[in-house]
Structure formats: structure tokens, C-alpha cells
């Protein structure tokens, strides 16, 4: 149970709910941040465990983001109170706030925002230029933004029952770990901490949220003839993460000015876009160009991990020939009818990279699939 709320030591701040800020009083405790909304008196408790700290670029407000919600304050005493109460536990997060003063940093970011705003006004009627501007902003944004978006989206996800049987989960995690080594060998990518979970769902699919949060449906495992086929699909989804397709897509769908605000680090309204982010990833609402890029980059990851990249194309061939039909089997193939062209492109890229000695995945696939029925 939390300590009684102490108005005498509380700081002025706000609670972020559905992209709106509500004035509130903040009380910094040793285990949690207590937030009392001024208008209603309702209390919210944000635990420090797993909390993220961020300085909002537009006004310098210090934000505390947790799975339970986001709160913030402009009061200078807020940071000192956090350092005093939980400095050791949040040492890594506090360290991220060090560096140039917020004034000079904000001036630089605001200058960039002003530049993009002027450019947007000049070329608003040219969608391609707007998209290029958003892509440029994405390249400049830190990968921590992807992680924040992915974490928020995963928290908003209404997933099916999680599979905890290690006979199923451990082999999938091992696949991702091996593919992660392939990602590292390809190089030039942001470091990603991959998190994997398996959900009991008959959908033949998998998806990855920004920041590296991967969900695999049991329907995909049941449909695949070999573990390499599943690894191929996972490599495709991991490519969406490393190429930051989710962040690009959300930036484009939010509108130029809102996208620039987000990409400059203002995540105060992150709860309002978490579900949209989840929809983009889970139903693969990417552009055709992004899907094609994920195919080819995924092939490179497989090749670098010494997993036969042709297995990705073979899995799509399997679905195409199945009685279920492609549209109900894999969403990206149903939304992009030119799947034959993409299968051929996968084979061409694999041939271009050249043959190496493929190292089979050490998985008893028959046992994995058999455990799904237990």
C-alpha cells in the first residue's frame, strides 16, 4: 500500500491521458510516483520499476513514462526529488538526461522543427517530398523513440493466451537469437534488444513492434514444415524493426507537423498512438516498398546467420499451394497481390548473395509442433 498523499511536499505537474494533459500534483516516493488529478482528485500510482525518464524538447518538461501511465512536471525540483528518492534504481535513466543544457538542446531541435515547418509549407502539395522529410526526421531520431513506441504498443495489446511451454517458446527464442547474430554481422543497424512471446492464435503470422518486441502466433508454427520457414518469417519482421518501418509509417499517418513533434522527442501523447502503432505492425499495414525492403533485408539477415534464406520463399510457396488460400493465411500477401513477384525477388536475392554452408537449426520441429496440442 502506498503512503498517504502529502500535499505539502507535492509538486505541480500533469498526467497524460489519451494525448491530453490534466493538471495534477505529484508526490515522489521511494517506490512509486503518486499523481493526484486536480479536477477529480483521482490518484494514479506509477511504479519506478521499469520507468523511463525523458526531457520533452518543446518545453523542457521532465516526463516519467511507465506501463501504468505518463506524468510530468516543469518544476526544477522534480528531477532533484527523483534523484534523492530513487537515484540508484534509476541511475541509467538519469544518466540519459545528462549532456547539453535543455535550453541549447531545445534551441537546436526547435531550429530543425522550424526548418521542417517552412519546408512543409512550401511543398505541402507534393506528398513524395513530405514523405522524404519524415524519413529524414526518422533518420535523425534516436532509436530509443522506437523502443518507447514499441513498449507502449505492447502494453496496449489485447493478445490471446500466452504460450509458456518451453518446448515451444525456447526454440523460437533460439531462432531469434541466431538471427540477431546475423543482424549484427550485416552491420550498420541500431542495437536491438529482442523480446519474444508466443501467442495461442490460429492466424498464420508473426509481427514485430518498433524496438524489437516480437509476437509469434501458434498458427505460423503449425503451418510451417521446417523451423527454417519460421526463421524466414521472423527475419522479415526483424527487418521491419531495423529499417524503422513502423516509425516511418506512423510519422506519415500522423500528418507532417504532428510527426515532426513526435520525432523530435515529444512523446506526451504516446498513449493515443499506441493502438495505431500496434495495428500497423500486427496487420502489416506497410507500404509495398517497405514490404519488399523487409523481404530483401530479411534474406540478408538469414544469409549472415547461415540459415538457408530460400526457406522464406519456400514458406510462401507452401501457403500459396495450401487449401486455406493465401488471403486468409498471411496478411501481407493478401494486401499485396503481386506475391509471385516478391517470391521471385527473394530467390534472386538469395542467389545473388551466394551459397554458403547452411547450418540447420537444431530444433526437433515435430516435437515443437506436437507440443502445441498439449
**Chain position carrying cell 527464442:** 173
From the list 244, 238, 242, the residue with the least C-alpha distance to 215 is 238
pLDDT in tens, the chain (374 residues): 344 455 556 899 999 887 788 999 999 888 889 999 999 989 999 998 888 888 887 778 899 998 888 999 998 888 888 887 776 667 666 766 654 333 333 434 444 444 445 444 443 444 555 566 666 666 777 888 788 878 877 776 766 799 999 999 999 999 999 999 999 999 877 889 999 999 999 888 898 988 999 999 999 999 999 999 999 999 999 999 999 888 777 766 665 555 555 555 555 555 555 555 555 555 556 778 888 899 999 999 999 999 999 999 888 888 777 644 444 444 444 444 466 788 888 999 988 988 778 999 999 999 999 999 86
Pairing mode, if any, of strands 206-209 and 213-217?
antiparallel
C-alpha span between 290 and 286 (Å, rounded): 6
Q: What pLDDT, on the 0 to 100 scale, is given for residue 217?
A: 93
Specify which residues 12 forms β-bridges with: 25
Give the three cell numbers for residue 13.
505537474
For residue 72, the SS3 value is strand
Q: What pLDDT, on the 0 to 100 scale, is given for residue 311?
A: 92
C-alpha span between 312 and 70 (Å, rounded): 40
C-alpha span between 220 and 228 (Å, rounded): 12
- 93 burial level (CB within 10 Å; 0-12, 13-18, 19+): middle
Cα separations in angstroms, 17 against 49, 104, 270: 20, 29, 9
Question: Which residues fall within 8 angstroms of residue 229, CB to CB, at 6 or more apart?
Answer: 311, 312, 314, 315, 318
Q: What pLDDT, on the 0 to 100 scale, is given for residue 126?
A: 41
C-alpha span between 127 and 88 (Å, rounded): 48
C-alpha span between 76 and 57 (Å, rounded): 15
Q: What pLDDT, on the 0 to 100 scale, is given for residue 259?
A: 57
Q: List phi, psi (to 5°) of 30.
A: -70, -25
Query: How far is residue 172 CA from its own chain's centroid?
Result: 19
Q: What pLDDT, on the 0 to 100 scale, is given for residue 262?
A: 58
Helices (H), the chain: 77-86, 91-96, 102-123, 127-140, 144-156, 166-186, 218-223, 227-242, 245-254, 256-263, 270-282, 288-304, 310-321, 326-329, 331-335, 339-353, 365-371
Specify whether the CB–CB gap between 90 and 82 falls below 8 A: yes
Q: What pLDDT, on the 0 to 100 scale, is given for residue 6?
A: 58
C-alpha span between 183 and 299 (Å, rounded): 11
Say what the pTM is: 0.62
Amino acid at each position: 500500500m502506498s503512503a498517504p498523499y502529502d500535499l505539502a511536499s507535492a509538486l505541480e505537474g500533469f498526467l497524460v491521458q489519451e494525448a491530453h494533459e490534466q493538471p495534477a500534483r505529484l508526490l515522489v516516493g521511494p517506490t512509486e510516483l503518486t499523481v493526484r488529478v486536480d479536477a477529480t482528485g483521482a490518484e494514479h500510482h506509477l511504479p519506478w520499476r521499469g520507468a523511463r525518464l525523458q526531457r520533452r524538447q518543446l518545453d523542457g518538461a521532465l516526463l516519467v513514462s511507465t506501463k501504468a501511465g505518463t506524468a510530468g512536471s516543469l518544476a526544477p525540483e522534480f528531477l532533484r526529488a527523483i534523484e534523492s528518492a530513487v537515484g540508484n534504481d534509476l541511475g541509467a535513466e538519469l544518466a540519459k538526461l545528462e549532456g547539453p543544457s535543455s535550453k541549447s538542446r531545445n534551441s537546436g531541435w526547435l531550429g530543425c522543427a522550424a526548418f521542417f515547418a517552412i519546408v512543409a509549407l512550401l511543398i505541402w502539395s507534393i506528398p513524395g517530398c513530405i514523405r522524404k522529410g519524415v524519413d529524414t526526421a526518422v533518420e535523425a531520431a534516436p532509436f530509443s523513440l522506437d523502443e518507447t513506441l514499441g513498449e507502449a504498443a505492447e502494453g496496449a495489446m489485447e493478445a490471446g493466451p500466452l504460450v509458456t511451454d518451453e518446448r515451444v517458446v525456447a526454440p523460437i527464442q533460439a531462432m531469434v537469437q541466431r538471427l540477431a547474430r546475423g543482424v549484427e554481422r550485416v552491420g550498420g543497424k541500431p542495437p536491438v534488444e529482442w523480446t519474444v512471446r508466443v501467442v495461442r492464435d490460429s492466424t498464420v503470422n508473426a509481427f514485430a513492434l518498433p524496438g524489437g518486441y516480437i509476437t509469434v502466433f501458434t498458427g505460423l508454427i503449425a503451418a510451417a514444415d521446417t523451423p527454417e520457414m519460421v526463421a524466414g518469417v521472423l527475419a522479415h519482421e526483424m527487418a521491419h524493426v531495423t529499417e524503422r518501418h513502423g516509425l516511418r509509417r506512423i510519422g506519415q499517418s500522423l500528418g507532417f507537423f504532428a510527426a515532426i513533434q513526435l520525432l523530435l522527442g515529444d512523446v506526451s501523447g504516446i498513449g493515443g498512438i499506441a493502438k495505431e502503432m500496434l495495428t500497423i505492425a500486427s496487420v502489416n499495414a506497410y507500404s509495398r516498398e517497405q514490404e519488399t525492403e523487409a523481404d530483401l533485408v530479411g534474406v540478408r539477415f538469414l544469409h549472415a546467420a547461415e540459415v538457408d534464406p530460400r526457406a522464406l520463399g519456400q514458406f510462401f510457396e507452401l501457403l500459396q499451394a495450401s487449401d486455406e488460400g493465401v488471403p486468409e493465411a498471411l496478411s501481407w500477401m493478401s494486401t499485396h497481390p503481386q506475391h509471385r513477384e516478391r517470391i521471385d525477388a527473394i530467390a534472386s536475392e538469395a542467389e545473388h548473395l551466394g551459397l554458403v554452408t547452411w547450418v540447420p537449426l537444431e530444433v526437433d520441429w515435430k516435437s515443437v509442433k506436437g507440443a502445441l496440442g498439449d
